Structure 1
């Protein structure tokens, strides 16, 4: 079934919204009334029909708008793409993984034809058709990793495994939640995650690293991460903080429901066959509090999560200035009674 892609913008005028179906399939991340940072990794197996985890890489109504925003961000700052020279095998692994997944799962929009090493890729929504020799970067218009990262929703980091740890040695990152690829590229796992509060003292990152070092080919995993952001802006990078940081000062009790968005990342990790590296996929979903409240039990749970949030996490996730207003607005959906809440609406 062909998707209907929306014309949207993720900056300046913010022409963005979720259809009722997009709200229903939104990956609401809270299974309990309280939140504590955890590994929460599960197998990235085929999910329910229509869910964000149905396929390896989710393509939805925001596809065209997000890809256009990616290109705009990259045009303004080439530092959003980086690849160290030894990562070329991993780049081709990524091309094969994404092209095969999209063409198999969304054949009405993407196709891949192979004649030995001579491949032809077609992306109908973006009007791209490219023939190339697999493994020969000179036959591509740009780095293979950059070519396909532009055509899949989300951000991507290629992790090299050596010295009993993982290194972020390549990335295409245009929708990050306040972290910098230019700063992190080449860093080890522990260096990359050092700013996360309480995770080190709880041993979360050490357990996650041990798990991922043993990640098997053909057995990808996933987890959900979340934060709150003002306006449906994908590019909340440190480099562009002057463009979006002051947005936090514009939230007031009258507009909090429309300006504050729950920002959820579906993070997936795949072992790569040739390089033995790992691709870390970070797919961002955005939904305003008002849209979220169309499922009142989600609003009720979010209220309980937020009102019990540890102050360190409130600060780390950049919510300090608008957090009281958000909690107050959400309180109207919480009558104090016990509830059983799933992470997806019926």
Structure 2
């Protein structure tokens, strides 16, 4: 399916972001059942459903131009959202190679890559970029390799170094996180950055099993999972260090505006082994949909009603939903036949 990119939208201030009916239809709705409990839910990242978010390793959609403009704005204000520890230099080049290769193959109408030994030529028609460079020589690029390519790819990216039987977040480009910070998590191990999850943190066997699985991911056999939370307004950058800019928005929700302000925020998390460095590339692709947009699929609205209604209090608090969850549940109730009949 050919991607039709929308004109520039905003993820802050006037919030002009919205989803077309086509974008809503391919939204990765994360609930296979009427209730939710935290789980690892990792699966092989094999291609699925042409046109879906699962078709390619790296998904590009109608919001591409807008999301790249938002990334540039964040980096202009806070360049440290991209960081690479010295020992991750090879992994950064491998990430550039992986992204360029897949984008050129999967979206040839927008991207192309020509290689002659270490002399490469990259074209990004969506952003009007034409770049000849020497692979392995950062001086031939306008940015360091990780920053260069992730300024042109939707998703946040972390590079995980594998050592001592663990994975460590030693590089990354993170401009749209769900209430965390690459600057705080840099250097942390897999187990360190997962311990805050309530109701799960004390059951470390869950994460130990997940870590064992991820340590054994092989080259060419990536894995993926879905994660979710909710966000007020279609705001991508909900980093911990910008909480003062967006935290108060949770108090702006009213029964009258809940369907427009409250957004389901779903992360398609993808992890692939890099062949030469043996590091792992972890991408976090974020999709946003308002309750109003989501309700154009009544079955989704019905299920989300039940999930939010029955969500354990500790998880609701962890995800930051407590102040407005009941208003969302009350609005979604109209789409649940059983609730309406009660």
Give ranges in structure 1 of 5+ residues lacking alignment: 338-346
Aligned to 2:236: 234
Are the counterparts in 2 of residues 2 and 109 from structure 1 also a CA contact under 8 Å? no
Superposed counterparts of 1:4-43, under 5 Å: 4-43=5-44
Return the offset for 1:200: 2.5
Aligned to 1:90: 91
User: TM-score, length-normalised on structure 1?
Assistant: 0.96
Return the offset for 1:2: 5.0
Task: Give CA-to-partner distance per residue, 1:13-59, whole Å, 9 cap, x none.
Answer: 00011000000000000001111111101111111111001111000
Give ranges in structure 2 of 5+ residues lacking alignment: none
Aligned to 1:280: 282
| 3-state SS in 1 of match to 2:172 | strand
For 2:130 and 2:187, locate their aligned partners in 1 and report how far apart those are by CA, in whole Å. Answer: 32
Task: Give CA-to-partner distance per residue, 1:200-231, whole Å, 9 cap, x none.
Answer: 33332111101000000000000000001100
Aligned to 2:319: 317
Aligned to 1:81: 82
Are the counterparts in 1 of residues 253 and 261 from structure 2 also a CA contact under 8 Å? yes
| 3-state SS in 2 of match to 1:283 | strand
Aligned to 1:119: 120
For 1:313 and 1:6, locate their aligned partners in 2 and report how far apart those are by CA, in whole Å. Answer: 37
Return the offset for 1:6: 2.9
Aligned to 1:99: 100
Superposed counterparts of 1:303-342, under 5 Å: 303-336=305-338
Task: Give CA-to-partner distance per residue, 1:57-101, whole Å, 9 cap, x none.
Answer: 000000000000001011111221111000011001101100000
Superposed counterparts of 1:154-169, under 5 Å: 154-169=155-170
Are the counterparts in 1 of residues 3 and 61 from structure 2 also a CA contact under 8 Å? no
For 1:5 and 1:148, locate their aligned partners in 2 and report how far apart those are by CA, in whole Å. Answer: 21
Return the offset for 1:138: 1.8
Aligned to 1:342: none
Superposed counterparts of 1:227-306, under 5 Å: 227-306=229-308
Aligned to 2:137: 136
| 3-state SS in 2 of match to 1:199 | coil
Cα RMSD, aligned residues only: 1.0
User: TM-score, length-normalised on structure 2?
Assistant: 0.97
Q: Quick one: higher RCO (CA 8 Å, sep 6+), 1 or 2?
A: 1
| 3-state SS in 2 of match to 1:226 | strand
Aligned to 1:219: 221
| 3-state SS in 2 of match to 1:336 | helix
